[in-house]
Structure 1
Amino acid sequence: MKWKIVFLLLTVILGCSKSDVMNQKSPKIVIAHRGASGYLPEHTLETKAMAHAMNVDFIEQDLVLSKDDIPIVIHDIYLDDVTNVSQIFPNKKRNDGRFYVIDFTFEELKTLNVFERFDPKTGKQVYPNRFPRGKGSFRLHSLQEEIELIQGLNKSTNKNIGIYPEIKAPEFHQKEGKKLSEIVLKILSDYGYKTPKDRCILQCFDSKELERIRKELHTELFLVQLIEFPEETKKLDYFATFADGIGPWYRQILDKKVDEKWTFTPLVSDAHKLGLKVHPYTFKADQLGEFSTFNELLEILLIKANVDGVFTDFPDLVVNFLNEKK
């Protein structure tokens, strides 16, 4: 009987059902950055399925519009560093020599092969020890296709893994006469993502656009303001007027070493005082910088700096780390 009383107390205190309590994961979330991109080409359906199997909390989708207004899951507005577009459509590059997603219809984009990221000038793979470039058969896909994959896997595996879409280059899209944010919000709503409880976090680097999404487009979704430049770390009061969290580069949280121990900037504590969650990017086991091991990096940021979650190319390693910390 004692365990039943404890269970009932947990249910009341946490405000959740039996299945919620029994399936409750670490309070720190794992975000699969472009999927399980340390193992398979980024933003392919295959890498998203792999990330789902790794029991992450959220899977990321970077979004760019096609010529016919389909949100495509791809990291950049360009195609030439992850596809064979220069071979298939050599005459469709712009004057700057780049190939833009927005100049292709969805059907044209579906004909391209997707590769591990490479330098289009040299042809060299950015991360040489990841999935070999040119091997396998991978394609671009739409936001709708990815949502249906994740929701389908949630159904068949009895999981509740969320999505973490990013509005990419909103100013570029606006100059091209495209309404990326409006189109994305409509699709998210159609698939049941409307409130902070719906396992969808929407992110953007452009603070004006994220503010517009909250105040003019009236979304209730959980919003995260991504931070790139050092001066943006001083704008937390402003971000807190429309966002629920921030996504800084993890180096913006680290200060310096004193007696061989890392000290931290006030970014995390200042954000927490304003009620903002902190989800730094990007944790890569094959790009450790000043850290000797991946677990050391995770220990410093997730535990000692007390961030609320991380973007990572190696989600299984972070899931395992957090499980060991329980």
Structure 2
Amino acid sequence: MSVRTATASAAVAALIGGCVLLPATQAQASGSHDAPAVYAHRGASAYAPENTLAAVDAARDLGIAWVENDVQLTRDGVAVVVHDTTLSRTTDAEEVFPGRAPWAVRDFTAAEIAELDAGSWFGARFAGARVPTLAQYLRRVERNRQKLLLEIKSPEAYPGIERETLRVLREEGWLDREHVGHRLVVQSFGAESVKNVHVQRPDVVTGFLGTPAVADLPAYAAFTDQINPSYTTIDSGYVAAVQRLKGAHGKPLRVNTWTVNDAATAAEVAGFGVDGIISDAPDTVRDAVR
């Protein structure tokens, strides 16, 4: 048993008492012996405008299997893929729809959002890129034979977003055995949102975005399969403490950390034993931890 594992084991035992823990060798096997998986954050967003189909394709061209995205709902209830809760930073909404401040996603219809240029802000060659609907995004990821880490964004602003997201996933064929078993994770910063997904589709792999206290991890393990924290909030002891617990599907909890964009940090967090690293520049991370 390594010093890292022994220290984490003692800490977890002291804090959570009777919770079922995995043997140390199993916990280590969950991530620390293999190179971490690499996730293209909002697509390969260092190279193409975030959350666009171009960013999905950029990740494909780099050979990155996993892409991460964000889903929100329009005023008319359509699931669209965009990160910010406002449209100002990554589209020309202020020019196309002056007087509609603060240009919140939920204040615009899907048809209105489809008019916006979501690429010119990043570079002239991406002029005319659009904010994709979730259905359009899923079709592109499917065409590329990629995998999806899907974030439900600001769920408190969108009552029912979990149900609508799952509906679109189902209609697009993403809730069959292959996708659920190997190609899909649904995550959120909202614990209740993750719980809702788990209740509505217990077979779907889920992740919680954040860094819960070690003492609170058993409560999260009841409804999630991953704890996905910022890299600035973790160390090897925390990663080991997470991995020594079984998640909602009876497997070791995984740790995917974000957002790492340089080789030195990638190597450091890989040394912590994380299972995955989320990056705007996934090729840089992949080459650093290979």
1:32 alignment partner, one of 18, 40, 49: 40
CA contact (8 A) 1:28 1:308 kept: yes
1:149 alignment partner, one of 117, 137, 140: 140
Task: Give the match for residue 17 of structure 2.
Answer: none
Task: Give the match for residue 14 of structure 2.
Answer: none
Question: Do the aligned partners of residues 134 and 100 (structure 1) sit closer, same or farther apart at CA in structure 2, a change above 3 Å counting?
Answer: farther
Matched, 1:137 2:128: yes
Shift in Å at residue 140 of structure 1? 0.8
2:113 alignment partner, one of 87, 109, 115: 109
2:80 alignment partner, one of 56, 72, 78: 72
5+ residue gaps, structure 1, are 1-25, 118-130, 155-160, 255-263, 285-293
2:242 alignment partner, one of 266, 271, 276: 271
Shift in Å at residue 281 of structure 1? 0.5
Shift in Å at residue 31 of structure 1? 0.7
Superposition map of 1:46-125 within 5 A: 46-93=54-101, 98-115=102-119
Question: Do the aligned partners of residues 59 and 135 (structure 1) sit closer, same or farther apart at CA in structure 2, a change above 3 Å counting?
Answer: closer
Matched, 1:45 2:53: yes
* CA distance in 1: counterparts of 2:119 and 2:214, whole angstroms: 34
Shift in Å at residue 316 of structure 1? 1.5
Question: Do the aligned partners of residues 145 and 231 (structure 1) sit closer, same or farther apart at CA in structure 2, a change above 3 Å counting?
Answer: closer
Give per-residue Cα distances to partners, 1:177-233, cap 9 Å, x unaligned.
xx2110101111223333541400100000122112212x13311101000xx6655
Matched, 1:172 2:157: yes
Superposition map of 1:239-258 within 5 A: 239-254=220-235
* CA distance in 2: counterparts of 1:132 and 1:113, whole angstroms: 11
2:158 alignment partner AA: H
Deviant stretches of 4+, over 6 Å: none
1:310 alignment partner, one of 262, 270, 277: 277
* CA distance in 2: counterparts of 1:165 and 1:38, whole angstroms: 19
2:88 alignment partner AA: D
Q: TM-score w.r.t. structure 1 length? A: 0.71
1:42 partner SS: coil
Give per-residue Cα distances to partners, 1:156-179, cap 9 Å, x unaligned.
xxxxx20111111111112xxxx2
* CA distance in 1: counterparts of 2:124 and 2:240, whole angstroms: 42
CA contact (8 A) 2:87 2:93 kept: yes
2:192 alignment partner, one of 172, 192, 208: 208
* CA distance in 1: counterparts of 2:255 and 2:46, whole angstroms: 22
CA contact (8 A) 2:75 2:106 kept: yes
Question: Do the aligned partners of residues 203 and 139 (structure 1) sit closer, same or farther apart at CA in structure 2, a change above 3 Å counting?
Answer: same
Task: Give the match for residue 204 of structure 2.
Answer: 221
5+ residue gaps, structure 2, are 1-33, 246-251
Q: TM-score w.r.t. structure 2 length? A: 0.80
Shift in Å at residue 107 of structure 1? 1.3
Task: Give the match for residue 168 of structure 2.
Answer: 187
* CA distance in 2: counterparts of 1:56 and 1:234, whole angstroms: 35
2:55 partner SS: helix
1:212 partner SS: helix
CA-based RMSD of the aligned residues comes to 2.0
Task: Give the match for residue 26 of structure 2.
Answer: none
* CA distance in 2: counterparts of 1:297 and 1:163, whole angstroms: 24
1:35 partner SS: coil
Task: Give the match for residue 148 of structure 2.
Answer: 163
* CA distance in 2: counterparts of 1:135 and 1:191, whole angstroms: 26
* CA distance in 1: counterparts of 2:173 and 2:82, whole angstroms: 22
Task: Give the match for residue 295 of structure 1.
Answer: 263
Question: Do the aligned partners of residues 312 and 112 (structure 1) sit closer, same or farther apart at CA in structure 2, a change above 3 Å counting?
Answer: same
* CA distance in 2: counterparts of 1:42 and 1:240, whole angstroms: 31
* CA distance in 2: counterparts of 1:116 and 1:57, whole angstroms: 26
Task: Give the match for residue 281 of structure 1.
Answer: 258
